[in-house]
Amino acid sequence: MENWIELSTLEYKEVWDRIYDAFKFEPGMSDFPSFEVPNPFITYDEIYNDLEEKSLLVFQELTQKNEYMYALDWQHPGYWINPRLEFPKSEFDECTVPIIPNGDYYFFIHKNFEWGLLGHPWERTITIFGKELIKVFEKHQPKMFQKILRQG
């Protein structure tokens, strides 16, 4: 089974059209937040390194063995990923699409948009949405999830 399967041109266009529409996504460096996610959601504004490890545990718990989800990097290739398969890292110790935003919007979204994790590069925040995702993150508690910026 393969991981990090690049989205086709059509899949890429469809998923980003859906993100712009569903989340009223307006990328920007000064007007925050740049997206609106459905309730329930929580936005956290302190990012710690354990977020990546905890996120993979959460994604594994919420997906089936052979289920894929989106890993998206704004204005770069997007991917189908299976959180149970290998997540190779670069020489800079980063995944193909990192969890922690470092200059781009990084989104990890359930294939049916039932839940997701959205990283904002300039606001330096992580927003999680969807009842199931919030519940499982409460179980695995990354350090950053102790300080809430916004909630809905």
Residues across the chain: 152
Q: Map tokens 């904002």 to a residue.
A: 120
pLDDT in tens, 8-23: 999 999 999 999 999 9
Check whether the bond before 33 is cis (ω within 30° of 0).
yes
Of the pLDDT bands very low, low, confident and very high (cuts 50, 70, 90), residue 32 is confident
Q: Is 46 exposed, middle or buried (0-12, 13-18, 19+ CB in 10 A)?
A: middle
> What does R_g of the chain's alpha carbons equal in angstroms?
14
The tens digit of pLDDT for each residue in 64-108 reads: 999 999 999 999 999 999 999 887 777 777 778 888 888 899 999
Look at phi and psi of residue 103 and say left if phi exceeds 0, alpha if psi is from -120 to 50, else beta.
left
35 contacts 18 by C-beta, under 8 angstroms:
no
SS3 label, residue 22 = helix
C-beta of residue 109 within 8 angstroms of C-beta of residue 18: no
92 by DSSP, 3-state: which?
Answer: coil
Q: Give percent of the chain with pLDDT exceeding 90.
A: 57
Question: Which strands make up the sheet holding 125-129, listed edge to edge?
Answer: 5-6, 79-81, 69-73, 106-109, 116-120, 125-129, 41-44, 148-151
The CB density around residue 142, as the number of other CB atoms within 10 Å, is: 22
Show the tokens assigned to 40.
Answer: 């329930």
